[in-house]
Amino acid sequence: MPSTSNKPAFDQQNKAWLNIGMALTTDASTQPLTLPEKLCLALTAIGLLILGFAGFGLVTGISNLIFALGSLMIGGIGFAFFYYKQRNLSGKHPHNGLIFASLTARGAAAWITAVLLTFFYVLLYWYPQYLGLAANKQLPNTGLIGFFDPLSLTLKKQPASQWFVYGTLYTLAIFIMGVKFILKYQHNRYQIIRTISVMFFQTGFAFLLPEVLQRLQQPYFDFKNIWPLNYYFFFDWHIDQLISSGKLGVFMLGWGVFSIIVLTPVLTYFFGKRWYCSWVCGCGGLAETAGDPFRHLSNKKLNAWRLERWLIHGVLIFVFIMTAMVLYTRFTGQATLWFLNSHKLSSWYGFFIGAAFSGVIGVGFYPLLGSRVWCRFGCPMAAILGILQKYFSRFRITTNGGQCISCGNCSTYCEMGIDVRAYAQRGQDVVRAACVGCGICAAVCPRGVLKLENGKKITNNKAIIHVRRDEVDILFPEKEDRK
């Protein structure tokens, strides 16, 4: 008869596993919230209410703005701190309970959140006057945008715009949810470093530095936003603005070209596309922090992968043609070549891809389609990096098939829809253009089967799996360096 001396400890551990899956709200466990957690949630709600009242012009003033943003920050970070401290994540699965929570299982809360986010993005991109943006600079802003005027005047000596409000809230979301993510994966060094990196680049390079540049009467410039993600980099107005700004503007122009030609291929060769998509990019930063609770919602079906290839490479071709036409118009003065018109192409791209796809759908649909919809199906930068990663990079995810127990955690929480388990079961290295190297598949693996590597050699007893068209090609390399 087997011994039962360890049964109480075993039961206690299993119960602990049920109380860990914190998303934006609590999980579906029966463990009640503690008093500190409730107080922090109340503080977060107060901050959101103040912003809501400000949208209707009921709240104004720098003190109220500071209180609102401070409440969001202290409440959000405080809740995550007490939540994970109370439940002790050491050695436990960080996603338990998500499939039972309404917000993270496409329930009513998810649909309400998606509608509200989408509505906000529609107003932001196309109807900012309803957020309080003044019709011209001679009139004062009102509503939500006017509420942020004091902060904008402090940073850049200019009234706020809808993009300043968006940038502030975007950065705040990445910072708060980034701290929560670090607490969630506090025992995983790679996740901590990666999250600190995206928080730093979003706060310093994407938000503060461009605002300070405007305060110094210099062009707005995000040094980490690289073409083709920065699709307007080669537009006439942007190039003229940089050149007319003197030496610093010319340096910005040169940095942008250098980033395209040298920085991108070199870093991708050594580190794969993760150096940008998971460590630097603001879109990826929001997906990895605020979007983390929704990563399991990404579609893993073969049809989704087929759609992904057509869409993302279609957008890449679109941006190449549009940029070529913009440059053609700049050097020739002619806007039309054959049936193509540079003005129409740029306006179409800005509306359908730059706004509707990357913003409205890319973020607004987090609770329904997962956190990397834009990165997976539309981002042209991700498409270029993916091609380089698949054929020229040293990065890969190695697998130890003998240890795989086919639990499926890796595939479930892959936000890019990759069936990682299929690779692990065969002991095949994951070499995929879509993979952003977030490392969550390795973090949730209970057996340590997966490992992110940048090595250049492949042993002769391992196969590499390449996804091509509608087939899976398995290659068995000899003892040679992988190019």
Residue 29: both structure tokens together: 């466990």
Cβ atoms of 6 and 44 within 8 Å: the answer is no
Distance separating alpha carbons of residues 270 and 143, to the nearest angstrom: 48
- Pure H helices in 58-100: 62-87
Residue 350: both structure tokens together: 């800005």
Q: What domains appear along the chain, each with residue ranges and CATH number?
A: 20-210 (no CATH), 394-475 (3.30.70.20)
Q: Which amino acid is at 462?
A: K
Strand boundaries in 141-241, DSSP class E: none
Residues 6+ apart with CB under 8 A from 122: 360
Phi, psi (deg, nearest 5) at residue 153: -65, -35
According to the model, what pLDDT value does residue 388 have? 96
Distance separating alpha carbons of residues 441 and 449, to the nearest angstrom: 9
The owner of tokens 């109380």 is: 19
Mean pLDDT of successive 10-residue stretches along the chain, which has 483 residues: 40 37 42 89 97 95 96 96 73 63 92 96 96 91 96 95 97 97 92 97 96 94 96 96 95 97 97 96 96 94 94 97 96 92 96 95 95 96 96 93 90 94 92 95 92 70 54 52 39
Q: Is 447 helix (H, G, I), strand (E, B) or coil?
A: coil
- Please list the residues that pair with 473 across neighbouring strands: 466
Residue 171: both structure tokens together: 């950065």
Distance separating alpha carbons of residues 90 and 220, to the nearest angstrom: 44
Residues 6+ apart with CB under 8 A from 195: 178, 181, 182, 185, 288, 289
Q: How far is CA 173 from CA 27, 166, 197, 236, in A?
A: 20, 10, 15, 33
Q: Which amino acid is at 287?
A: A
According to the model, what pLDDT value does residue 32 have? 81
According to the model, what pLDDT value does residue 482 have? 40
Q: What is the CA radius of gyration of the chain?
A: 24
Q: Is 229 helix (H, G, I), strand (E, B) or coil?
A: coil
Distance separating alpha carbons of residues 279 and 176, to the nearest angstrom: 17
Strand boundaries in 58-168, DSSP class E: none
User: What global pTM score does this model have?
Assistant: 0.87
Residue 81: both structure tokens together: 């701190």
What is the tens place of the pLDDT at every residue in 458-479? 544 455 555 555 555 555 554 4
According to the model, what pLDDT value does residue 17 have? 34
Q: Is beta strand 340-341 parallel, antiparallel or unpaired with respect to 336-337?
A: antiparallel
Q: How far is residue 392 CA from its own chain's centroid?
A: 24
Cβ atoms of 449 and 424 within 8 Å: the answer is yes
According to the model, what pLDDT value does residue 98 have? 75
Q: Closest Cα to residue 457, out of 400, 402, 398, 401?
A: 398
Q: Is 94 helix (H, G, I), strand (E, B) or coil?
A: coil
What is the tens place of the pLDDT at every residue in 247-268? 999 999 999 999 999 999 999 9
Average pLDDT, the chain: 88
What is the tens place of the pLDDT at every residue in 174-225? 999 999 999 999 889 999 999 999 999 999 999 999 999 999 999 999 999 9
Measured in residues, the chain has a length of 483
